[in-house]
Chains A and B, each alone.
Chain A
């Protein structure tokens, strides 16, 4: 049986995520996801729930330190940070915040763990050739960092026994240069799965900056996760109002048009891209569509559903639609999709994104099925 503290731990996590004990919500600080600091380091989230107690106001801020320096010299960092020494029972909670270097893989791992995302089971043939290096053999040359101590000493022992310099009573073994052995790599060709993510976004007048920011953040995390799952992945971006065009990533997030909205235009372009560039039997295809849910007409919506049914869905792993709430959007498109694909359709995932706080939940919706 696990230690009971794991239950306290999961309870704490549930409170932080707002699932239970709603009245504690306002005392929660520190988010769930790592925050990039711009210089390559990330702030690791240290969610905390503070118990309200009598304490002094801001004016008492400041503290004491030890070391060199004149009056007026800066003291780096924040008070209460990084207490050195052997930890004992911590009674006073300091400012708990960790800043560490994180690779994208680690970041993806945190995301996966945080949202309990399952690994994706890729479909299709492994077509992409990838060469990997594995340290599976031993060589006589190499850098010190790859030195194989056991092998080196064994060589030295052999040599000493052979030359008669080994003394049983004083078994000192001193390797010389020719005894040194190093790990060396051999090249191996592997076949990998490949994937493409096709982002489509409605850039009509009703999608404001806030909505785009949400889409941008969401796509950052989606990319991060999919990149951790596929070695070879491509991103394609389509923007549309009444007409659709393919753009690069930067334009995708910056463009703002004012026309009406024909979602089918984007779906058509998406279909063309898949047909020309990505053979569904070789590629894992992920179309994502974000809009505020307004479409020009019900006829167009019908056309959209046809396109999805006949072309996009059959060739994709999963089709994801994220509806960002805006003041102007009616949200009708979500309802239309819901009616058609609401129940029993694993290949379509729908998610409503109310605000920034809802991004994580919606990522969980999209990626939580392991498709």
Chain B
């Protein structure tokens, strides 16, 4: 694999893996087989730059990420301990320069991730053969580059990447089977609606009658109308936020362009669940590396090193939230609350602060509860449901903002509601604006109309304009964007040259 840049673990590491694997099973973790491999830092930088995969299509941005990771490592400012990939079997890469205690910690951490990948419902439909799929994508795109020129293909990829974040999370639950059933249902619904007067007639006859109804002298119009009906069905089942899909279905793309767009869309959706569960996934893995290490795997000579490195990973920062820290603390808090009966109507409605503080009903459902939570939540619902005022205070959370008078960032508030609000907002669509496809035949001119779902923060118009420019290059007709600027609803149109309000 990877031209011998990495090799499977052997000897001492293999024995350690066997040991930790057994602990993980004993604790009830459930995962696909995990293949550990060891590699040097350059290889791990390469893997990280390519999203974990040894083979991707050629693109400068992988080179850019590699450049930054290499520099960070060279100047000793950052270091990647491990990489783990959501495939079956799971692949995990260990850094060969790591200390044995770090390798053990990382292995325990990896089993946490592996369990999460297999059991969290948002990952249910991810393609576990992604290792091969990505490699195939690479081969395909390389072939297109040989044929049409690297600059041309790369330029197209760049344009598509502008839309890469415009995804619909519902798609994650859409299997081909489900999609087919849904279309059938909708067709049926529409037919029932339109078929009121001939309700007794079979559908075959109905479609025959319909084709007669349309002007028989001019078959082309009837064809258009048939298309129109299919189009109506289709439109209903493409998610409004799945902008890439809309472009794929309706933009006048060449075959190779459509193929590449499909590839990029598939890869974007593959990474989506990982982005949606960053806090949970890291929290869960950290919860388990901490549990396995402290209760089972640590030797007494390793305690100081483990504590030091664990503390490094869990470091709180004044500048941003550390997902590892918040995640692990929330899981521990849930476990504690469900162990001591601090949930349910009685606890929530208790107004006696002292009693609440010392609440202890030996329900002992903690472990069970955290397993349940890891299966059914994503970051947003996780925070929304389990982020309590007590937790917020204990974690010393605050929000900060820029003070233009003093020219620096200052602590804004420690108010629970405000913090939770801000946290949830930063997780909603990953802190990026929500964009929906409103209309693909806007003003009956084949133009696309996007709508920014406004939640109080204006768009950056410079970026919006450049994004629309790239979308225009794919759609090949003007693209419009309806948003709110300084309290007023505005619609901008990008006509190929510039973006202006209409």
Contacts and interface: CB of A to CB of B under 8 A. Distances in A.
B62 A73 contact: no
B75 to A, nearest CB: 5
Interface string A63-102: 1111111111111111111111111111110001010100
Interface stretch (B24-32, B246-254, B410-418): B410-418
B390 to A, nearest CB: 15
Contacts of A49: 60-61, 64
A99 to B, nearest CB: 9
Nearest to B50: A5
A9 B71 CA distance: 13
A74 B398 CA distance: 12
B126 to A, nearest CB: 14
B131 interface: no
A71 B413 contact: yes
B396 A66 contact: yes
A255 B270 CA distance: 63
Nearest to A86: B81
Which secondary structure dominates chain A's binding surface? loop
B459 A54 contact: yes
B422 to A, nearest CB: 6
A1 B3 contact: yes
Contacts of A68: 396
Contacts of B442: none
A24 interface: yes
Contact of B322 (A7, A66, A74, A100): A66
Given A3-B3, A66-B316, A53 B64 contact: no
Given A63-B320, A86-B80, A91-B275, A54 B435 contact: yes
Contacts of B396: 66-68
A67 B64 contact: no
B65 A20 contact: no
Contacts of A364: none
A276 interface: no
B319 A24 contact: no
Interface in B293-332: 312-325
Interface stretch (A10-18, A185-193, A315-323): A10-18
A47 interface: yes
Interface string A1-44: 10111011111110100001101100000000000000000001
A31 B20 CA distance: 46
B400 A21 contact: no
B3 A75 contact: no
Contacts of B318: 65-67, 69, 75-77
Interface stretch (B153-161, B184-192, B255-263): B153-161
In order of increasing CB-CB distance, the 6 nearest A-B pairs are: A8-B63, A52-B466, A12-B63, A62-B401, A9-B63, A66-B316
21 contacts: A5-B62, A11-B58, A11-B60, A48-B64, A49-B61, A51-B158, A55-B432, A56-B431, A56-B433, A62-B409, A62-B412, A63-B320, A64-B398, A67-B398, A70-B411, A73-B410, A74-B411, A75-B400, A80-B320, A86-B324, A88-B83
Interface of B: 2-3, 5, 43, 46, 48-52, 55, 58-69, 71-72, 75, 77-84, 109, 151, 154-155, 158, 161-166, 271, 274-275, 282, 312-325, 395-402, 406, 408-414, 419, 422-423, 426, 430-433, 435, 452, 457-461, 463-464, 466-467, 469-470
